[in-house]
Structure 1
Amino acid sequence: MTSQTTRHTADEPQDPLRRIMLGGLAGLAAAAAAGRANAQEKKDDKPVFNAYDRKRRFLENEMNGTPWVAPQQGNFDLEDPVQNALAKLKISANLAGERTYIPMLTRILIAREDLPGGLLLGAASMFTWQLQVPDPKNFTGLPEGTALMRSMFTSVYLDPHTLEPVKTLKNPYNDTVMELEDYIFVENFLIFPKGGSVFIEEPQFANDSPDTPKPALIKRWGDELILFNGGVYQEPGKHQPRFTENTWRSPAAQVMNPDVPLVQTGYNFMGVNKAFEKPWTGYKLGDLESMCSLATGKKVHTPETLPDFHKRVLVERHPDRL
């Protein structure tokens, strides 16, 4: 049966946010660090990163903070770091304070050392995003125009050949009968006006200076703009390799038009991580197998416009993820 139980004990909290945090979300970051991979073996008393240990839900209505609305909605100069950052947010989320949903269909493959791998799992997945004005009671020293992104990720695993829900699957690469567990977590990001960001719970992915320009690669391709964006987990360890790469495609005319607040966007995702992060697959710390996730999706802004498949498979199961 699907399990929502967190199976890990607490470690000593760590504050990853350097100088920009006060209480509030600093406590959230410490709590997230406290849940990391403590059932796994440790080296030099440091926990091994495991994304399955992320905080699963917001518990204090965090998704309903003050919406962040950008002062500029179009006609972006992509060579200017501030306007480049606004175009990036308009393509991937929105600048109008609306909620963003990214429903995806995913297939997950296993890569093995010296042996052929292949298809292991399917998934119906979704990001739910809300850009907010950072609460000054919880943050200090932020540049004017900084946005706080609240993020929920939800994934229900599927038969890889039919992409329909199942309770169990056999892993053909180690003969484990997998009791499929849904994968849900929440994240928080600070997004700075010049394009940099801080991943609050996991600064190993993003921990940029607020003052340093970091323009995204946004490539004009025919009538479209393609946004390239990814991340590499910077801390070495047994969790490596671990990285992601994302591409977003939107009509250039919509992105540049200030009178079109919500643009059409297609989405593709690729990510690699060690298979032991999902222990129900039969892999453990020290095994060399990696998972490669390949997803395709799109952006919508209301629950009503989600694909019917996601309404049936994901939203009915996790209505709180809207």
Structure 2
Amino acid sequence: MSKNTSDDISHSPSRRSALKLGGLVALGALAKMQVLPEPAIAQNRTQPKNTSLAPELWKKTPWVPEKKGNFDLSKMSDNNLATMKITNNLMGEKTYIPMITRALLGPQGKGGAAFYGHVGMWTWQLQELDPEEYPDAPAGSMVQRAMYTGMILDPRTYEPVETVYNHVLDRDVLVEDSLSAESYVFYPRGGGESVDREGFMEDDETSKARLRPMARFGDDICLFLDGIFSSEGPHQPRMDTSTWTMDYADLMLPDRQLRPVDYNFAGLLRAWERDWTGFDKPDQTQMLWNVKGTKIHDLDDMPEIINRTLLAKYPDRI
């Protein structure tokens, strides 16, 4: 089975999320455009340069803010801290986002079908910014180290496979794993950028410094992070959205840290953005991702399916 860094829609907090604070999704491989002139932003979204981060990067000083609760969500600085607590943590610990996915194919004018299952995991850590490493970043910025690992599964049994059936092309296609890593700089009052892909978030509405929408839902609070891609081209429509849900008291009380958070993500893109799917540009078949995940901080809380599939194959990705 081959490896690839562009298998997933990025679920990072800075975009759609976060990754960017706004994940996540991440956190991702984005559109290459050929029918229209290719702006630099589209080319820069193709994929991260690295499959893993140097071990020494994980050893840098963790970022631990003084304020850890009692946030005024109407203020930019507190809204930003609350977002970090929901999507990452304010204690300098590693954050894990294990997830399970179902991907559907939707050809134009024809019936769709399930394409594949998927398991993935983000490994994140927020660190203090080294001014020698990032001399142009404003004071008070932080760095997020991010590593993504993903594996395709059979859409019915949810067991690892080497091929899946593409009902649109009526043939099996060879799947690819996803291994990527990069660093992001987040600014103290919101917004940020990828260190490894210049301009990665410039086309992403959630990368801009603004209050992130949050809504009470019973005892919970929901953080909504969207990835809206505005550049024109055959990759459109291209968008994703994530919802991070946690207990409101856990968010607000300073003595409640490292709490689990429910993570849900949905994304829409052209299937040809994933080369291994067998589609060529400008095929208009769309792919819909639906993801269920949980933010955790203890490896003992890792879902069994992640241990049995993803971490059994890539035990060093934690």
What is the letter of the counterpart of residue 98 of structure 1?
A: E
Would you say the 8 A contact 1:49–1:239 is kept in 2? Answer: no
Determine which of 102, 106, 125 is the counterpart of 2:101.
106
SS in 2 for 1:103: strand
What is the letter of the counterpart of residue 181 of structure 1?
A: E
1:213 positional shift: 4.6
SS in 2 for 1:187: strand
1:222-237 mapped onto 2 (5 Å cutoff): 222-237=218-233
Determine which of 156, 159, 169 is the counterpart of 1:161.
156
1:167 positional shift: 1.5
Q: 1:4 maps to which residue?
A: 3
Gaps of 5+ in 1: 8-34
Q: 1:91 maps to which residue?
A: 86
Q: 2:51 maps to which residue?
A: 57
Q: 1:18 maps to which residue?
A: none
In the alignment, the residues of structure 2 paired with residue 255 and residue 46 of structure 1 have an alpha-carbon distance, to the nearest angstrom, of: 40
Question: 1:177-216 deviations in whole A, cap 9, x for unaligned?
Answer: 111111222232221222222234213344889xx85111
SS in 1 for 2:117: strand
Would you say the 8 A contact 1:276–1:283 is kept in 2? Answer: yes
Q: 1:290 maps to which residue?
A: 286
Q: Give the direction of change, closer, same or farther, for the CA distance of 1:96–1:104 in structure 2 (3 Å limit).
A: same
In the alignment, the residues of structure 2 paired with residue 78 and residue 205 of structure 1 have an alpha-carbon distance, to the nearest angstrom, of: 25
Determine which of 299, 304, 314 is the counterpart of 1:303.
299
In the alignment, the residues of structure 2 paired with residue 37 and residue 244 of structure 1 have an alpha-carbon distance, to the nearest angstrom, of: 13
1:171-190 mapped onto 2 (5 Å cutoff): 171-190=166-185
1:1-322 mapped onto 2 (5 Å cutoff): 2-4=1-3, 44=37, 49=43, 53-61=47-55, 62-200=57-195, 201=197, 202-206=200-204, 213-322=209-318
Question: 1:244-303 deviations in whole A, cap 9, x for unaligned?
Answer: 201000001111111112122000001112111222221012111111100001011122
Q: Give the direction of change, closer, same or farther, for the CA distance of 1:206–1:147 in structure 2 (3 Å limit).
A: farther
Would you say the 8 A contact 2:5–2:51 is kept in 1? Answer: no
1:111 positional shift: 1.7
Question: 1:86-145 deviations in whole A, cap 9, x for unaligned?
Answer: 111101110110000011110001122111212111101111111111221122343333
Q: Aligned Cα RMSD in Å?
A: 2.6
Q: Give the direction of change, closer, same or farther, for the CA distance of 1:228–1:36 in structure 2 (3 Å limit).
A: closer
What is the letter of the counterpart of residue 259 of structure 2?
A: V
Q: Give the direction of change, closer, same or farther, for the CA distance of 1:37–1:265 in structure 2 (3 Å limit).
A: closer
What is the letter of the counterpart of residue 270 of structure 1?
A: A
Q: Give the direction of change, closer, same or farther, for the CA distance of 1:299–1:44 in structure 2 (3 Å limit).
A: closer
In the alignment, the residues of structure 2 paired with residue 73 and residue 85 of structure 1 have an alpha-carbon distance, to the nearest angstrom, of: 11
In the alignment, the residues of structure 2 paired with residue 304 and residue 115 of structure 1 have an alpha-carbon distance, to the nearest angstrom, of: 44
1:239 positional shift: 2.4
In the alignment, the residues of structure 1 paired with residue 2 and residue 96 of structure 2 have an alpha-carbon distance, to the nearest angstrom, of: 24
**TM-score scaled to structure 2, two decimals?**
0.83
In the alignment, the residues of structure 1 paired with residue 38 and residue 215 of structure 2 have an alpha-carbon distance, to the nearest angstrom, of: 44
Would you say the 8 A contact 1:198–1:207 is kept in 2? Answer: no
What is the aligned-residue identity percentage? 35
Would you say the 8 A contact 1:250–1:264 is kept in 2? Answer: yes
1:49 positional shift: 4.8
In the alignment, the residues of structure 1 paired with residue 243 and residue 257 of structure 2 have an alpha-carbon distance, to the nearest angstrom, of: 20
What is the letter of the counterpart of residue 54 of structure 2?
A: E
Q: Give the direction of change, closer, same or farther, for the CA distance of 1:181–1:248 in structure 2 (3 Å limit).
A: same
Q: Give the direction of change, closer, same or farther, for the CA distance of 1:51–1:126 in structure 2 (3 Å limit).
A: farther
In the alignment, the residues of structure 2 paired with residue 154 and residue 225 of structure 1 have an alpha-carbon distance, to the nearest angstrom, of: 28
Q: Give the direction of change, closer, same or farther, for the CA distance of 1:52–1:193 in structure 2 (3 Å limit).
A: closer
SS in 1 for 2:112: strand
In the alignment, the residues of structure 2 paired with residue 171 and residue 208 of structure 1 have an alpha-carbon distance, to the nearest angstrom, of: 33
Gaps of 5+ in 2: 7-28
Q: Give the direction of change, closer, same or farther, for the CA distance of 1:138–1:207 in structure 2 (3 Å limit).
A: farther
Q: 2:10 maps to which residue?
A: none
1:158 positional shift: 0.6
What is the letter of the counterpart of residue 300 of structure 2?
A: E
